[in-house]
A and B are shown apart, each in its own frame.
Chain A
Amino acid sequence: MKQNQDITRDRELLLGLAKGDDKSLEIIYSENFPVVLRMILQHNGSEDDAKDVFQEAIIVLYEKVHNSDFTLSSRLKTFLYSVCRHLWLKKMQRTYGLYALSPELEEIIPATEALDDHAAKDEQFRIMEGAMGSIGQPCQTILEDYYLHKKSMQEIAEKFGYTNAENAKNQKYKCLMRLKKLFFDQYNTSL
């Protein structure tokens, strides 16, 4: 029974996460990080490794909950733990080649399928990140403010000292076209 209750609570937390509730994320983060930290340290990782791996796992989870057909079948703790194990395994393989793997890590890890989607999404994120990084200022900030932080053109014009919103808008379109070009250049070659 206890496990059932736990899973109910986990599901509520996930709903919160999907809605972008900060509190849910905080709870999930602070409850599960210690376990992952311990696991990574046990397998010759550092604290930063633990942070990276765990945050990636949260991102995987985040992508999952935005996918409507995702239902949590195990406890959240189990899910995150196995995803982290898997991510760490991959990282170890990349870094040291096959030989440094501890045999415990080579156990069959059930999170493989959970990570298939993530790899593609992660790739797209990297491309966008790269494109954003290379368009330079003030383009990056203007685009982020408009598209991500949902600021109005008026606010943006004031912030960057444009005489009116129309000028700012023109600037935004120029930036947007450059970003699109950069993004799709990468995106289409990578596919």
Chain B
Amino acid sequence: MKEDMILLREIERYLEGEMNEQEKTAFDELRHTNPLINKQVEEHQLFLQHLGNYGQRQALQAQMDKIHQQLDLPTLRKQAQEGNQTAKRLSIRRKTITNLAAAACIALVTSLTTIAILQNVAKNKSTAQYEDVRRVLNNIQRSQNALINDINKKSKAPTNPGTYGGTGFAVSGNGYIVTNYHVVAGADSVYVQNNKGEAFKAVSIFEDISSDLAILKIADSTFKSQPLPYTLKPQSVKLGEEVFTMGFPRDEIVYGKGYISAKTGFNGDTTAYQVSIPVNPGNSGAPLLDSKGDVVGIVTGKQTTSDGIAFAVKSAHLKHLLDEMPKDKQTRREWSHKSHLDGLNRVDQIKKLEDFVYMVKVYN
């Protein structure tokens, strides 16, 4: 115990630099030779360092406490509370704004979606209202057709009635026939058949999708050309003018009578008329004629939502189309002559007309 104390005193003197040169070298020597003492010295150094840190920190603490007491705490407290309250209020307000913004976004998206859906539905509806009047031929008609073909042996047309049917009419004496594009669209082969039951093979030589018209050419040696009794009327007809049509909604030619009910077609289409006339699937491509027997339009479709409303492409458009056709496919112009049907009564007109109206049968 006593020795420890002496050693401690020596160490302290050594560390504090109180030893004279001689003692110091002796002590250094001692540290060098005796690791135990060396360890004690190092330990003491460490201890003094910790003690120093402790002292510094205590002093600091005391100083800080002093400063802290000088602070105007009530004021600080008040400020802090006020600050926190405003912060809270702000954060609440911010939360509210965020929520409102989110709600507004959702509302916006919802309404836009609704509008889009409604518009889409409206569009779908309007397309649904329009119906092509080509005919899907069924088995019963096939048997009838077979019967007709049986009677008219000279026809080489296949007994199969085809997948779709429509109507077409001659636009020249030498076998050019106009019908609707939607009748012949996607066709493998096309046959036209007149009211006598004679069928001819035809090929589509020109198609105009925008006006829904197609020009067919009869490519059959058995076809005999004959002059047209009617003309194409390029001027547009007046509202309320009486018109009639002849088509093949069944395997028999059917006469229909009506009047021009509007000068534009479906959804304001200016290339067409609205016609109040009974049409049925199969009437597509049928000619629309005025009382003088001039062609004023081509029946294309009808409105599904109401009865008796049909649409017909204006003859002016057909004329335009014929003019546009490539030269080598040009029809012979036979429109200049005067209509042979003018002045005849309707029964005679029909009698003359029916040879030039064809049933178009499409195979695909």
Whether A42 sits at the interface, judged by CB under 8 Å, is: yes
Interchain nearest-CB distance for B210 vs A (Å): 64
Interchain nearest-CB distance for B253 vs A (Å): 84
In B1-52, which residues have CB < 8 Å from any A CB?
4-5, 8-9, 43-44, 47-48, 50-52
List residues of chain A with CB within 8 A of the CB of B84: 38, 41-42
Interface pairs (21), CB distance under 8 Å: A22-B63, A25-B64, A26-B67, A29-B64, A30-B67, A34-B80, A37-B80, A41-B81, A47-B73, A55-B64, A59-B60, A125-B53, A125-B54, A125-B57, A128-B54, A147-B48, A147-B51, A169-B9, A173-B5, A176-B8, A184-B43
Contact check, A55 vs B80: say whether CB atoms are below 8 A apart: no
Chain A residues touching B, range: 35 or more
In A6-52, which residues have CB < 8 Å from any B CB?
22, 25-26, 29-30, 33-34, 37-38, 41-42, 47, 51
List residues of chain B with CB within 8 A of the CB of A180: 43-44, 47
Q: How far apart are the CA atoms of A63 and B258 in the complex, in Å? A: 106
Contact check, A58 vs B47: say whether CB atoms are below 8 A apart: no
List residues of chain A with CB within 8 A of the CB of B48: 147
In B55-92, which residues have CB < 8 Å from any A CB?
55-61, 63-64, 67-68, 71, 73, 76-77, 79-81, 83-84, 87
CB nearest neighbor in A for B54? A128
CB nearest neighbor in B for A170? B5
Q: How far apart are the CA atoms of A176 and B7 in the complex, in Å? A: 12
Interchain nearest-CB distance for B15 vs A (Å): 12
Q: How far apart are the CA atoms of A47 and B58 in the complex, in Å? A: 21
- Proximity bits, A59-87, B CB within 8 Å = 1, else 0: 10010000000000000000000000000
List residues of chain B with CB within 8 A of the CB of A33: 68, 71, 76
List residues of chain B with CB within 8 A of the CB of A125: 53-54, 57
Q: How far apart are the CA atoms of A59 and B62 in the complex, in Å? A: 12
Q: Which of A26, A129, A147, A177 contacts B5 (CB 8 A)?
A: A177
CB nearest neighbor in A for B65? A55
Contact check, B47 vs A184: say whether CB atoms are below 8 A apart: yes
User: Which 7 A-B residue pairings sit nearest by Cβ, starting from the closest?
Assistant: A148-B55, A38-B80, A128-B54, A29-B67, A42-B84, A173-B5, A37-B80
List residues of chain A with CB within 8 A of the CB of B51: 128, 143, 147-148
Whether A53 sits at the interface, judged by CB under 8 Å, is: no
Contact check, A38 vs B83: say whether CB atoms are below 8 A apart: yes
Interchain nearest-CB distance for A43 vs B (Å): 10
List residues of chain A with CB within 8 A of the CB of B44: 180
Q: Which residues of B contact A (CB under 8 A)?
A: 4-5, 8-9, 43-44, 47-48, 50-61, 63-64, 67-68, 71, 73, 76-77, 79-81, 83-84, 87
Q: Which residues of A contact B (CB under 8 A)?
A: 22, 25-26, 29-30, 33-34, 37-38, 41-42, 47, 51, 55, 58-59, 62, 121, 124-125, 128-129, 132, 143-144, 147-148, 169-170, 173-174, 176-177, 180, 183-184, 187
Contact of A183 with B50 at beta-carbon distance under 8 Å, contacts A33-B76, A34-B76, A34-B80 already known: yes
List residues of chain B with CB within 8 A of the CB of A170: 5
List residues of chain A with CB within 8 A of the CB of B81: 41
Contact check, B71 vs A30: say whether CB atoms are below 8 A apart: yes
CB nearest neighbor in A for B48? A147
Q: How far apart are the CA atoms of A144 and B62 in the complex, in Å? A: 14
Q: How far apart are the CA atoms of A38 and B81 in the complex, in Å? A: 7
Contact check, A51 vs B53: say whether CB atoms are below 8 A apart: no
Q: Which of A25, A34, A47, A121 contacts B67 (CB 8 A)?
A: A25
Interchain nearest-CB distance for B87 vs A (Å): 7
Interchain nearest-CB distance for B54 vs A (Å): 4
Q: How far apart are the CA atoms of A184 and B5 in the complex, in Å? A: 17
CB nearest neighbor in A for B8? A173
List residues of chain A with CB within 8 A of the CB of B68: 29, 33, 51, 55
CB nearest neighbor in A for B64? A55
Interchain nearest-CB distance for B82 vs A (Å): 9
Q: How far apart are the CA atoms of A83 and B264 in the complex, in Å? A: 81
